[in-house]
Amino acid sequence: MGVSQPPDHLVGIARMAAEAPCLEPKRRVEYFELGARSYLARVNSARLPFRWTINPYRGCEFGCKYCYARYTHEFMEMRDPQQFERKIFAKAFDAERFREELRGLPLGETVALGTATDPYQPAERRYGVTRKMLQVFAGIGGLRLGITTKSDLVARDVELLTEVSRRHYLTISVTVTTVDCDLARALEPMAPRPDLRLAAVRTLADAGLKVVVGCAPVMPLINDSEKSLDALARAAAAAGAVALWANVLFLKPCAYQVFLPFLEERFPELVRKYRERYERAAYLRGAYPEMIQERLEKVRTRHGLDRKSARPEPELWPHDPQILLFDP
Ligand code: SF4
Protein backbone atom coordinates (compact mmCIF):
# COMPACT_ATOMS: atom_id res chain seq x y z
CA MET A 1 0.00 0.00 0.00
CA GLY A 2 1.61 3.30 -1.03
CA VAL A 3 0.48 6.86 -0.45
CA SER A 4 -1.35 7.82 -3.61
CA GLN A 5 -0.93 10.97 -5.71
CA PRO A 6 0.95 13.52 -3.59
CA PRO A 7 -0.21 17.13 -3.98
CA ASP A 8 1.63 19.11 -6.69
CA HIS A 9 3.17 21.59 -4.25
CA LEU A 10 5.32 18.92 -2.58
CA VAL A 11 8.94 18.86 -3.75
CA GLY A 12 12.22 17.20 -2.77
CA ILE A 13 12.20 15.06 0.37
CA ALA A 14 8.52 15.92 1.05
CA ARG A 15 7.54 14.53 -2.37
CA MET A 16 9.72 11.44 -1.95
CA ALA A 17 8.11 10.79 1.45
CA ALA A 18 4.59 11.21 0.06
CA GLU A 19 5.37 8.77 -2.76
CA ALA A 20 7.25 6.27 -0.57
CA PRO A 21 5.87 2.73 -0.77
CA CYS A 22 4.47 1.48 2.52
CA LEU A 23 6.56 -1.52 3.61
CA GLU A 24 4.06 -2.81 6.13
CA PRO A 25 0.95 -1.19 7.59
CA LYS A 26 0.58 -1.68 11.36
CA ARG A 27 -2.05 -0.45 13.75
CA ARG A 28 0.12 2.12 15.49
CA VAL A 29 3.14 2.48 13.26
CA GLU A 30 3.52 2.44 9.50
CA TYR A 31 6.81 1.67 7.80
CA PHE A 32 7.86 3.14 4.47
CA GLU A 33 10.88 2.87 2.26
CA LEU A 34 12.55 6.16 1.39
CA GLY A 35 15.00 6.72 -1.43
CA ALA A 36 18.25 8.39 -0.38
CA ARG A 37 20.24 10.77 -2.57
CA SER A 38 23.17 10.30 -0.23
CA TYR A 39 23.63 8.51 3.05
CA LEU A 40 26.16 10.92 4.53
CA ALA A 41 25.02 14.38 5.61
CA ARG A 42 27.58 17.09 6.29
CA VAL A 43 27.43 18.90 9.63
CA ASN A 44 27.96 22.63 9.50
CA SER A 45 28.15 23.33 13.22
CA ALA A 46 31.64 23.74 14.71
CA ARG A 47 30.17 22.91 18.15
CA LEU A 48 29.55 19.27 17.24
CA PRO A 49 32.43 16.78 17.48
CA PHE A 50 31.77 15.12 14.11
CA ARG A 51 31.78 16.26 10.50
CA TRP A 52 29.32 13.76 9.00
CA THR A 53 26.13 12.08 10.15
CA ILE A 54 24.28 9.00 9.02
CA ASN A 55 20.69 8.21 9.95
CA PRO A 56 19.45 4.89 8.57
CA TYR A 57 15.84 5.79 9.48
CA ARG A 58 13.68 8.89 9.48
CA GLY A 59 11.28 9.02 12.41
CA CYS A 60 11.70 7.01 15.60
CA GLU A 61 9.22 4.68 17.19
CA PHE A 62 10.65 5.05 20.71
CA GLY A 63 8.61 8.22 21.07
CA CYS A 64 10.61 9.93 23.81
CA LYS A 65 8.64 12.84 25.25
CA TYR A 66 11.63 15.18 25.00
CA CYS A 67 12.78 14.15 21.51
CA TYR A 68 14.34 17.08 19.69
CA ALA A 69 14.35 15.38 16.28
CA ARG A 70 10.62 15.58 15.62
CA TYR A 71 11.21 18.62 13.40
CA THR A 72 12.88 16.35 10.82
CA HIS A 73 9.44 15.10 9.76
CA GLU A 74 8.48 18.70 9.02
CA PHE A 75 10.87 18.54 6.04
CA MET A 76 8.44 15.95 4.68
CA GLU A 77 5.49 18.27 5.34
CA MET A 78 4.39 16.17 8.32
CA ARG A 79 3.63 18.78 10.95
CA ASP A 80 1.86 16.72 13.58
CA PRO A 81 4.71 15.84 16.00
CA GLN A 82 3.16 12.42 16.67
CA GLN A 83 3.80 11.40 13.07
CA PHE A 84 7.51 11.29 13.87
CA GLU A 85 6.92 8.14 15.93
CA ARG A 86 4.13 6.67 13.77
CA LYS A 87 5.46 7.00 10.22
CA ILE A 88 8.90 5.44 10.07
CA PHE A 89 10.98 5.62 6.90
CA ALA A 90 13.72 3.07 6.30
CA LYS A 91 16.31 4.31 3.82
CA ALA A 92 16.54 2.23 0.66
CA PHE A 93 20.07 0.90 0.88
CA ASP A 94 22.64 0.48 -1.86
CA ALA A 95 25.83 -0.95 -0.34
CA GLU A 96 28.02 -0.04 -3.32
CA ARG A 97 26.91 3.58 -3.30
CA PHE A 98 27.41 3.82 0.46
CA ARG A 99 30.89 2.34 0.16
CA GLU A 100 31.79 4.90 -2.52
CA GLU A 101 30.57 7.75 -0.28
CA LEU A 102 32.70 6.52 2.61
CA ARG A 103 35.72 6.07 0.35
CA GLY A 104 35.43 9.73 -0.61
CA LEU A 105 36.14 10.83 2.98
CA PRO A 106 39.65 11.72 4.12
CA LEU A 107 41.50 9.41 6.48
CA GLY A 108 40.50 9.95 10.11
CA GLU A 109 37.23 11.75 9.27
CA THR A 110 34.58 11.78 12.01
CA VAL A 111 31.23 10.14 11.31
CA ALA A 112 28.29 9.83 13.72
CA LEU A 113 25.66 7.15 13.17
CA GLY A 114 22.28 7.83 14.77
CA THR A 115 22.23 11.54 15.53
CA ALA A 116 18.63 12.39 14.64
CA THR A 117 16.94 9.01 15.03
CA ASP A 118 17.85 5.77 16.77
CA PRO A 119 19.70 3.35 14.48
CA TYR A 120 18.54 0.39 16.60
CA GLN A 121 14.85 1.27 16.86
CA PRO A 122 12.32 -1.54 16.20
CA ALA A 123 12.44 -0.98 12.42
CA GLU A 124 16.04 -2.23 12.48
CA ARG A 125 14.84 -5.73 13.41
CA ARG A 126 12.81 -5.77 10.20
CA TYR A 127 14.92 -3.89 7.69
CA GLY A 128 18.47 -4.11 9.05
CA VAL A 129 19.71 -0.92 7.37
CA THR A 130 22.10 -0.17 10.27
CA ARG A 131 23.55 -3.66 10.12
CA LYS A 132 24.02 -3.42 6.36
CA MET A 133 25.84 -0.12 6.85
CA LEU A 134 28.13 -1.65 9.49
CA GLN A 135 28.95 -4.46 7.08
CA VAL A 136 30.23 -1.82 4.66
CA PHE A 137 32.26 -0.16 7.46
CA ALA A 138 33.80 -3.56 8.18
CA GLY A 139 35.08 -3.66 4.59
CA ILE A 140 37.02 -0.39 4.82
CA GLY A 141 39.17 1.26 7.48
CA GLY A 142 40.41 4.64 8.65
CA LEU A 143 37.43 6.54 10.07
CA ARG A 144 36.36 7.72 13.52
CA LEU A 145 32.89 6.33 13.99
CA GLY A 146 30.50 7.08 16.84
CA ILE A 147 27.22 5.21 17.29
CA THR A 148 24.48 6.43 19.63
CA THR A 149 21.49 4.36 20.65
CA LYS A 150 18.91 3.81 23.33
CA SER A 151 18.34 0.20 22.38
CA ASP A 152 19.72 -3.11 23.60
CA LEU A 153 19.42 -4.34 20.00
CA VAL A 154 22.94 -2.96 19.50
CA ALA A 155 24.24 -6.09 21.29
CA ARG A 156 22.98 -8.18 18.36
CA ASP A 157 25.83 -6.72 16.30
CA VAL A 158 28.61 -7.34 18.82
CA GLU A 159 30.69 -9.45 16.42
CA LEU A 160 30.27 -7.07 13.53
CA LEU A 161 31.08 -4.08 15.77
CA THR A 162 34.23 -5.88 16.90
CA GLU A 163 35.27 -6.20 13.26
CA VAL A 164 34.53 -2.51 12.68
CA SER A 165 36.62 -1.56 15.74
CA ARG A 166 39.67 -3.35 14.31
CA ARG A 167 39.59 -0.95 11.36
CA HIS A 168 38.16 2.31 12.73
CA TYR A 169 38.22 4.25 15.98
CA LEU A 170 34.80 3.19 17.27
CA THR A 171 32.84 4.56 20.22
CA ILE A 172 29.43 3.20 21.11
CA SER A 173 27.29 5.45 23.27
CA VAL A 174 24.26 3.94 24.99
CA THR A 175 21.84 6.53 26.32
CA VAL A 176 20.31 5.89 29.73
CA THR A 177 18.46 8.83 31.23
CA THR A 178 17.60 7.11 34.52
CA VAL A 179 17.86 3.68 36.13
CA ASP A 180 14.30 4.08 37.42
CA CYS A 181 12.26 1.82 35.12
CA ASP A 182 8.91 3.53 35.85
CA LEU A 183 10.31 6.96 35.10
CA ALA A 184 12.00 5.67 31.95
CA ARG A 185 8.73 4.08 30.79
CA ALA A 186 6.96 7.42 31.22
CA LEU A 187 9.67 9.44 29.46
CA GLU A 188 10.60 6.95 26.72
CA PRO A 189 7.48 4.80 26.37
CA MET A 190 8.63 2.46 23.61
CA ALA A 191 12.36 2.29 24.33
CA PRO A 192 13.92 -0.77 26.00
CA ARG A 193 14.11 -0.69 29.80
CA PRO A 194 17.26 0.85 31.32
CA ASP A 195 18.41 -2.51 32.74
CA LEU A 196 18.23 -4.03 29.26
CA ARG A 197 20.30 -1.17 27.84
CA LEU A 198 22.87 -1.64 30.60
CA ALA A 199 22.97 -5.38 29.89
CA ALA A 200 23.82 -4.47 26.29
CA VAL A 201 26.64 -2.25 27.59
CA ARG A 202 27.93 -5.31 29.48
CA THR A 203 27.84 -7.51 26.37
CA LEU A 204 29.70 -4.94 24.28
CA ALA A 205 32.26 -4.16 27.00
CA ASP A 206 32.91 -7.87 27.58
CA ALA A 207 33.77 -8.12 23.89
CA GLY A 208 36.44 -5.45 24.40
CA LEU A 209 34.51 -2.59 22.80
CA LYS A 210 34.68 0.96 24.18
CA VAL A 211 31.25 1.86 25.45
CA VAL A 212 30.17 5.11 27.05
CA VAL A 213 26.87 5.87 28.73
CA GLY A 214 25.09 9.12 27.98
CA CYS A 215 22.54 10.72 30.27
CA ALA A 216 20.66 12.75 27.73
CA PRO A 217 18.72 14.73 28.46
CA VAL A 218 19.14 15.80 32.08
CA MET A 219 15.73 17.31 32.95
CA PRO A 220 15.45 19.83 35.79
CA LEU A 221 13.81 18.32 38.89
CA ILE A 222 13.10 15.04 37.08
CA ASN A 223 16.38 13.13 36.73
CA ASP A 224 18.96 15.75 37.73
CA SER A 225 19.51 15.02 41.44
CA GLU A 226 22.92 13.87 42.56
CA LYS A 227 21.23 10.70 43.81
CA SER A 228 19.81 9.95 40.35
CA LEU A 229 23.08 10.70 38.54
CA ASP A 230 25.02 8.71 41.11
CA ALA A 231 22.79 5.65 40.63
CA LEU A 232 23.30 5.92 36.88
CA ALA A 233 27.08 6.31 37.20
CA ARG A 234 27.26 3.29 39.50
CA ALA A 235 25.21 1.15 37.11
CA ALA A 236 27.23 2.33 34.08
CA ALA A 237 30.54 1.51 35.77
CA ALA A 238 29.22 -1.88 36.92
CA ALA A 239 28.19 -2.65 33.33
CA GLY A 240 31.70 -1.94 32.04
CA ALA A 241 31.22 1.53 30.52
CA VAL A 242 34.40 3.62 30.44
CA ALA A 243 32.83 7.07 30.47
CA LEU A 244 29.68 9.00 31.29
CA TRP A 245 28.49 12.16 29.60
CA ALA A 246 25.33 14.23 29.96
CA ASN A 247 23.43 16.99 28.18
CA VAL A 248 20.83 19.28 29.67
CA LEU A 249 17.35 19.22 28.12
CA PHE A 250 16.67 21.70 25.35
CA LEU A 251 13.19 22.24 24.01
CA LYS A 252 12.79 23.47 20.46
CA PRO A 253 9.16 24.23 19.54
CA CYS A 254 8.42 20.75 18.16
CA ALA A 255 9.66 19.11 21.39
CA TYR A 256 7.99 21.73 23.62
CA GLN A 257 4.63 20.85 22.03
CA VAL A 258 4.95 17.26 23.22
CA PHE A 259 6.88 17.75 26.46
CA LEU A 260 4.58 20.32 28.06
CA PRO A 261 1.39 18.19 27.78
CA PHE A 262 3.44 15.29 29.17
CA LEU A 263 4.43 17.42 32.17
CA GLU A 264 0.86 18.54 32.69
CA GLU A 265 -0.17 14.91 32.92
CA ARG A 266 2.74 13.41 34.89
CA PHE A 267 4.40 16.29 36.71
CA PRO A 268 1.81 19.10 36.98
CA GLU A 269 3.75 20.68 39.84
CA LEU A 270 6.66 21.37 37.46
CA VAL A 271 4.73 23.01 34.64
CA ARG A 272 5.11 26.58 35.86
CA LYS A 273 8.85 26.21 36.44
CA TYR A 274 9.41 24.71 32.96
CA ARG A 275 7.33 27.43 31.33
CA GLU A 276 9.44 30.07 33.08
CA ARG A 277 12.68 28.40 32.03
CA TYR A 278 11.89 27.30 28.49
CA GLU A 279 9.23 29.62 27.13
CA ARG A 280 11.70 32.25 25.97
CA ALA A 281 14.69 30.10 25.01
CA ALA A 282 15.14 26.48 23.97
CA TYR A 283 18.47 26.13 25.80
CA LEU A 284 19.27 26.73 29.47
CA ARG A 285 22.48 28.71 29.94
CA GLY A 286 24.61 29.70 32.89
CA ALA A 287 24.35 28.37 36.44
CA TYR A 288 22.13 25.33 35.85
CA PRO A 289 24.18 23.54 33.13
CA GLU A 290 27.36 24.40 35.06
CA MET A 291 25.91 22.88 38.22
CA ILE A 292 24.96 19.70 36.31
CA GLN A 293 28.48 19.36 34.89
CA GLU A 294 29.94 19.75 38.41
CA ARG A 295 27.53 17.16 39.76
CA LEU A 296 28.45 14.84 36.91
CA GLU A 297 32.15 15.27 37.55
CA LYS A 298 31.59 14.31 41.18
CA VAL A 299 29.76 11.06 40.36
CA ARG A 300 32.22 10.21 37.57
CA THR A 301 35.12 10.52 40.00
CA ARG A 302 33.27 8.48 42.62
CA HIS A 303 32.73 5.60 40.19
CA GLY A 304 35.96 5.75 38.19
CA LEU A 305 34.43 6.94 34.93
CA ASP A 306 36.01 9.30 32.40
CA ARG A 307 34.46 12.15 30.44
CA LYS A 308 34.99 10.35 27.14
CA SER A 309 36.55 7.15 25.97
CA ALA A 310 40.26 7.05 25.17
CA ARG A 311 40.78 4.56 22.38
CA PRO A 312 44.01 2.85 21.39
CA GLU A 313 44.87 2.84 17.71
CA PRO A 314 42.84 0.17 15.90
CA GLU A 315 44.80 -2.94 14.99
CA LEU A 316 44.30 -2.45 11.23
CA TRP A 317 44.42 1.37 11.12
CA PRO A 318 45.74 2.46 7.72
CA HIS A 319 48.77 4.72 7.58
CA ASP A 320 48.41 5.83 3.96
CA PRO A 321 46.50 9.08 3.58
CA GLN A 322 43.58 7.13 2.20
CA ILE A 323 40.62 5.18 3.45
CA LEU A 324 41.78 1.58 3.40
CA LEU A 325 39.86 -1.07 1.51
CA PHE A 326 39.72 -4.61 2.77
CA ASP A 327 38.92 -7.59 0.62
CA PRO A 328 35.20 -8.32 0.75
S1 SF4 B 1 15.39 7.39 20.81
FE2 SF4 B 1 16.23 9.37 20.23
S3 SF4 B 1 15.40 9.74 18.18
FE4 SF4 B 1 14.17 8.12 19.11
S5 SF4 B 1 12.43 9.20 19.99
FE6 SF4 B 1 13.99 8.95 21.60
S7 SF4 B 1 15.18 10.85 21.52
FE8 SF4 B 1 14.02 10.73 19.62
- 225 CA distance to ligand 1 middle (Å): 23
In three-state secondary structure terms, 147 is strand
Give yes or no for residue 153 CB within 6 A of ligand 1. Answer: no
159-172: per-residue pLDDT in tens? 999 999 999 999 99
CA distance 193 to 182: 9
Give nearest CA residue, ligand 1 atom 8: 67
Counting every residue, how long is the chain?
328
202-254: per-residue pLDDT in tens? 999 999 999 999 999 999 999 999 999 999 999 999 999 999 999 999 999 98
Give yes or no for residue 67 CB within 6 A of ligand 1. Answer: yes
Average pLDDT over residues 107-131: 96
Give nearest CA residue, ligand 1 atom 3: 117
Ligand 1 site-directed mutation target among 55, 58, 60, most atoms within 8 Å of CB: 60
Least confident residue range of 80-89, 178-187, 299-308: 80-89
Give nearest CA residue, ligand 1 atom 4: 60
CA distance 36 to 54: 11
20-75: per-residue pLDDT in tens? 776 665 558 999 999 988 999 999 887 888 999 999 999 999 999 999 988 787 77
Ligand 1 site-directed mutation target among 57, 58, 62, 254, most atoms within 8 Å of CB: 62
Give nearest CA residue, ligand 1 atom 7: 67
- 319 CA distance to ligand 1 middle (Å): 37
Please report, for residues 55, 102, 136, 143, 264, the alpha-carbon distance to residue 106 in angstroms, rounded to integers and kept in the order given: 20, 9, 17, 8, 49
- 21 CA distance to ligand 1 middle (Å): 24
Give yes or no for residue 64 CB within 6 A of ligand 1. Answer: yes
Least confident residue range of 3-7, 58-62, 115-119: 3-7
Report whether 238 contacts 179 (CB < 8 A): no
Ligand 1 site-directed mutation target among 82, 118, 187, 258, most atoms within 8 Å of CB: 118
CA distance 18 to 40: 22
Give yes or no for residue 157 CB within 6 A of ligand 1. Answer: no
Q: Which residues of 69-108 are buried (b: 16+ CB within 10 A; e: fewer)?
A: bbbbbeebbbeebebbbbbbbbbebeeeebbebbeebebe
In three-state secondary structure terms, 81 is coil
Q: What is the residue-averaged pLDDT of the chain?
A: 91
